[in-house]
Structure 1
């Protein structure tokens, strides 16, 4: 089967009309510069001032959106011109433009990294760019870096830059003076360890793991309040794309049990919306705390951090037995990345400790120090072709032959293995359900559509 066609060619049609709303895409030269910190602080600052803020995240991500959702007070959806597709992204942006006083989009990695990149999103939707540059160890090179970011590739609508990690007022002035005239100075943030957001191997800690997050956001918003970036951005035209069409009720009358706790926390809001739009009733459970699955017609084990909670998962014999019984009874099951890891015979954590888990997949999954895989993937399954991504630090050794492999859209190379064992479908690939709702419905047992 050929690869899905690129979904990021062309731009929204001007014939569709436009919706005027202040908007900004927050980017950086690389990861670790402070994009999430600044985006969350801006959302919190304007929300404190009584504005309705909607935030989006470029590219596949689960962790940054949890912080951004806490800061904005609204769900954070992904914009990815390949994975979500331009039509999906346009519809979500248009809906936000109808409701919000401000739209913020946080970029992914560096501004020009990836195909498509955050810069591609900015160009496609006509969004001005704020680049956050970690400037603690530079002076005039700050201007050179900003010049390169603004000038690389096709033109951007506009760019301004915010210096992060500024050492003093004089340092900030040197940085500001280094900028060429066509790049705006958005201000500077001093180092503040009490406001920083903690990280681990897959990224930031989630919002519900930071009880002091409101205090951190207050400190960050206060620091931005006196900077040029605190002003409401200029309004831009967002194409008045029609809402996404309603979905057929292929899962009407079916209950899907969804794992959601500290071990299984990687859930796109759009995936949950898709299941409900298909007519499913969702019930949530905790593989860590609950002793058995709830009554259900299908099961979804999303990704997360089973490696951080492997001892507790292994000790929950009731849940492991319930998973085995559900599989033996032919319950349709989808397990993604961390959810799949829970189903192997053995999980070896970062400390090298082995834990016996559900045993629905033979073999061992083990954590490793190096990143094992990262990037977009698509799956051609009998149910239909779906898009998604992969990002993990573990590797699996199993005698079970893969049912098929995902495909890397960049070059058509072979991606993650997909395992089929009875009614279980398992892979490291995280699926974006709106990419093919009908296929997803069939994965969860729908017999029509």
Structure 2
């Protein structure tokens, strides 16, 4: 199948890729086009914003973590359903192994470069030509962000020397707010839909240039092998509230496809672990922003300790692990008691503590995923295993096993190894 598709990339983070992608998705959707958006590389927050902008679920594409075959399948399915496919890149176009440029070349998707023109004019052309020729990649065109005036836009356009200027965005009076792990979650932003509409309206967009883009043909991969029902009859309780919300949709889809019944509970509302849960999944999120409520959630804390004492498998990723420690120091001088299953203290800090793709060893082979956090865990617990960084294979995050708990700062991408993922939620010995 075929659809118009572009990979929206930049020279670095901070250029406005997410803002431009969201504005373009909203603009195309308002014009009646069926839009599918993907995020290149590990990310939880940008996809939430892009889903809000496009009105459709946003999946992850990554040649290493997701794998080429699954990426191809996702793109082919999207081409079956959509008129336009937008893929937001990660960091700079050539950053990472594999990079966003590698993804674009693998599937023949042209690049739409985002340039922050706020402090430049003609130099924009040099940057765009460098982005195109370094790889090289096919360059569909440019969207210039933070453009001051029509005259400024004209200077940028002239500098591109034949590469189309698809559109511009002015310097925004209101923009998508950020915090330490990225953008603020869309449901926390007052009037977020009005803001997205405003960004779409502010974007000047060359409809003719877009219409002139030749559709990209995405070949269908081999038929997908049915997943074995490794979790048939099992109920997995997933924590879901503002403290626990960093979970790949693909993870939940995989658990269901292997036969699991998923139920959800909210520790912040002091909801206990459902009594019929055969396993518990505590994803990452922002427990450091809700320390007081988590600390005061007595029923939740007691229920997770009871589940642990009963040997119920508990998978705790990043923020989930933080909530199981003895205490969480919020970085403002306060220590808050947590569930007390993992002896030790979590300290939130201003300095980045972990970032990048990693693999976790399991008896069923490596489970791929990533890490991204600003806290550290001070504990005397023995380390059961370490993840390995990609591509260096250097030592990554510690993995702790305390009774039925598997805990780490590592976020697993379950489709990378379904058998390993299923084993985490059973009483199978590690």
TM over 0.5: yes
Aligned CA distance change for structure 1 residues 30 and 278 (closer, same or farther; 3 Å): same
Alignment partner, residue 370 of structure 2: 389
- Tell whether 2:185 aligns with 1:203: no
Q: What 5-or-longer segments of structure 1 have no aligned partner? A: 1-18
Secondary structure of the 1:376 match is: strand
1:407-446 to 2 correspondence within 5 Å?
407-445=388-426
Alignment partner, residue 267 of structure 1: 247
Preserved CA contact (<8 Å) 1:42 1:230: no
Shift of 1:436: 0.6
For residues 363 and 339 of structure 2, the distance between their equivalents in structure 1, rounded to whole angstroms, comes to 26
Alignment partner, residue 10 of structure 1: none
Alignment partner, residue 281 of structure 1: 261
Alignment partner, residue 202 of structure 2: 223
Preserved CA contact (<8 Å) 1:187 1:229: no
Alignment partner, residue 128 of structure 2: 146
Shift of 1:228: 5.0
Shift of 1:411: 1.1
For residues 282 and 332 of structure 1, the distance between their equivalents in structure 2, rounded to whole angstroms, comes to 14
What are the superposed Cα offsets for residues 125-146 of structure 1, whole Å, 9 maximum, x if unpaired?
A: 1001111111111122111111
- Tell whether 2:167 aligns with 1:187: yes
1:1-400 to 2 correspondence within 5 Å?
19-153=1-135, 155-181=136-162, 183-194=163-174, 196-227=175-206, 231-232=210-211, 233-242=213-222, 244-295=224-275, 296-400=277-381
Shift of 1:227: 3.8
Moved more, 316-325 or 239-248: 239-248
For residues 229 and 130 of structure 1, the distance between their equivalents in structure 2, rounded to whole angstroms, comes to 15
Q: What 5-or-longer segments of structure 2 have no aligned partner? A: none
RMSD: 1.5
Aligned CA distance change for structure 1 residues 320 and 372 (closer, same or farther; 3 Å): same
What are the superposed Cα offsets for residues 49-85 of structure 1, whole Å, 9 maximum, x if unpaired?
A: 2221111100000000001111111111100011111
Shift of 1:384: 3.3
Shift of 1:156: 1.4
Q: How many residues align?
A: 427
- TM-score, normalization: structure 2? 0.96
For residues 87 and 446 of structure 1, the distance between their equivalents in structure 2, rounded to whole angstroms, comes to 31
Aligned CA distance change for structure 1 residues 192 and 225 (closer, same or farther; 3 Å): same
Shift of 1:287: 1.1
Runs of 4+ in 1 over 4 A off after TM superposition: none
For residues 193 and 239 of structure 1, the distance between their equivalents in structure 2, rounded to whole angstroms, comes to 43
For residues 205 and 414 of structure 2, the distance between their equivalents in structure 1, rounded to whole angstroms, comes to 42
